[in-house]
Amino acid sequence: MQQGVGSCVVFAESGPSKKDYRLFNIPNDIAGNDVASMEHIISRRLKYYEDQKPDLILIDGGRTQLNFTNKILQDYGMKKILVLCTGNSCRSQILEGWLKTFSNGDYLVFSAGVEAHGINKDAVRYMNEVGIDLSNHTSDLIEKYCDIKFDLFVTVCDSAKESCPIIPNSIKVLHRNIDDPSKAQDKPNAFRRAILELKKLAEELDQILRN
């Protein structure tokens, strides 16, 4: 099977800028998907201009491609926060849920772990009490985000801070140790207490990201 290839042609004020032309190999699993291929090409191309956005992008496509490109550009220009705990199972998931609620779509929120233990069912249950659904969250390893530049990187447990194999490229790094409610004997009270504590932290982080 022949490798799919996408290209980006760049124009400067003086005309075509051949030194900035790029060809990108399209992964085989998305080669037949025009929209996914376009996302791959544009996202990779923008990495070459981390601090300089283009004034104009010409898209060879219809309304679907145009709307999708707008979404990519919006995400690219938004601030990003990554939350880390040991297993990306409980505390980081709760904080991610609060931050996504407070963000109102104004910044991007991610969470990860030194390990990936899956989503804690009690975290889902007790966050539902405050109207936040974690059931669609994923438990991810921090290596997934090693190529992304974050505006804020937050660790929420001492063990994750000490054992983290990768420190993401981040403008600001913060640490706050939150007790793990999943290890408490009185789990209902421990989870509700942790949820309130993480809500307060999310409010602080929201203000940092907006300033």
Catalytic residues, by residue number, are 85, 157, 164
Which residue is listed with tokens 């992304």?
A: 148
Give the single-character DSSP code of 185.
Answer: S
Beta-carbon count within 10 A of 209 CB: 21
Residue with tokens 């400067």: 12
CA distance 36 to 3: 15
**85 bridge partner residues:** 113
* DSSP single-letter state for residue 111: E
Locate all alpha helices (DSSP H) within the chain, ordered by sequence: 34-47, 63-77, 91-103, 121-128, 158-163, 187-210
Secondary element (H or E) of residue 2: none
Query: What DSSP element (H or E) covers 14?
Result: none
